[in-house]
Amino acid sequence: MAKRRTLKRDISYIAGELFTEVLVAKMLVSKIDQGAADIVLTRILDMQDEYIKRVSHPGGKDNKKVVKAYYKKLVTDLQAEIEAILLAIEELSKDKIA
């Protein structure tokens, strides 16, 4: 299991990369729905805040098995959220690039 500090940095890095991807697409692809892009940007920032908070406050600090299961579920949830955001980014630029 990674250290909490490393996990927080990884979450921030991934959120930054996703945010940049949407921002670049929003600026360079003229046919993208600006409102939908703003919604995806907000979703990325909310995801970053939520998961950093979840890293900071694990449940069952005294029981190592509970903590390990907590972080395993957190990573699984994070991966699912990232995949959902990537699909939303893909939908934004689908059939819009000439």
Q: What is the pLDDT of residues 13-70, one digit of tens each?
A: 999 999 999 999 889 888 888 999 999 999 999 999 999 999 988 877 778 888 889 9
Which residues lie below 8 Å from residue 67, measured CB to CB, with a gap of 6+? 58, 59, 60, 61
Selection from 23, 74, 21 nearest residue 52 by Cα = 74
* Amino acid 98: pLDDT: 52
**How far from 4 is each of 53, 58, 65, 74, 95, CA to CA, in Å?**
11, 10, 16, 12, 40
* Amino acid 96: pLDDT: 62
Is the pLDDT higher at 18 or at 2? Answer: 18
